[in-house]
Amino acid sequence: MIGRLNHVGVATPSIEASVALYRDMLGATKIGTPFDMPAQGVRVCFVDLPNSQIELIEPLGDASPIHGFLAKNPKGGQHHVCFEVEEILAARDELRAKGATILGTGEPRIGAHGTPILFIHPKDMGGVLIELMESPKGEGH
Ligand SMILES: CC[C@@H](C(=O)O)C(=O)SCCNC(=O)CCNC(=O)[C@H](O)C(C)(C)COP(=O)(O)OP(=O)(O)OC[C@H]1O[C@@H](n2cnc3c(N)ncnc32)[C@H](O)[C@@H]1OP(=O)(O)O
Ligand SMILES: [Co+2]
């Protein structure tokens, strides 16, 4: 089921401050323009790497799912890892059959790459919040 590592999600109280870190400390040159995803409750900015992406996420709105994480980690930190899968509904059903908790309604939502995404509760994955993302068509692993 598991495919390519698509991105590592990094929660931050300030995308602007995090962009400065990745640019000035690590020398990142391919940094996108931040954009809002109200349905996901986050503001997003991608840092492109040769083999993957860092997804900087800042809370957006009172119901943002990352408020709790930032309350525990006020300076931010590594929040989730995202793996591509070929068929998101098949992956969800297989995971559920294995006892995993799919977060939210369990129905995929459209993520920042324009394809359906789901999250697996960290309690079922050794303390790591896992995002599954359907591979963009034609880019299957
Ligand atoms: C940009 C769009 C999209 C994309 O296309 O890539 C995204 O990535 S959106 C990213 C943000 N969205 C989400 O994270 C949605 C799924 N997340 C959730 O539903 C919640 O955040 C959560 C994982 C259920 C946590 O909810 P919260 O209310 O903050 O915490 P709890 O108190 O319920 O926590 C229970 C338990 O889990 C631990 N925890 C919380 N967050 C994480 C985390 N990111 N990584 C690892 N562990 C986490 C928390 O510490 C609690 O542990 P215990 O205290 O030991 O019970
Ligand atoms: Co993500």
Which residues does ligand 1 sit against, CB inside 6 Å? 9, 37, 40, 42, 44, 55, 57, 65-66, 68-69, 79-80, 82, 103, 111-112, 117, 119, 122, 127, 129, 131
Domains and CATH numbers, the chain: 5-134 (3.10.180.10)
For residue 140, the model assigns a pLDDT of 57
Q: Where does the pLDDT of residue 139 fall: very low under 50, low under 70, confident under 90, or very high at 90 and above? A: low
Range 90-128 burial, b when 16+ CB lie within 10 A, else e: ebbeebeeeebebeeeeebeebbbebbbbbbeeeeeeee
ipTM tops the 0.95 cut: yes
Mutate to test the pocket of ligand 1, among 129, 134, 135 (most ligand atoms within 8 A of CB): 129
pLDDT in tens, 82-100: 999 999 999 999 999 999 9
Report the distance separating Cα 96 and Cα 16, nearest Å: 38
pLDDT in tens, 46-91: 999 999 999 999 999 999 999 999 999 999 999 999 999 999 999 9
% the chain with pLDDT above 70: 97
Quote the pTM value: 0.97
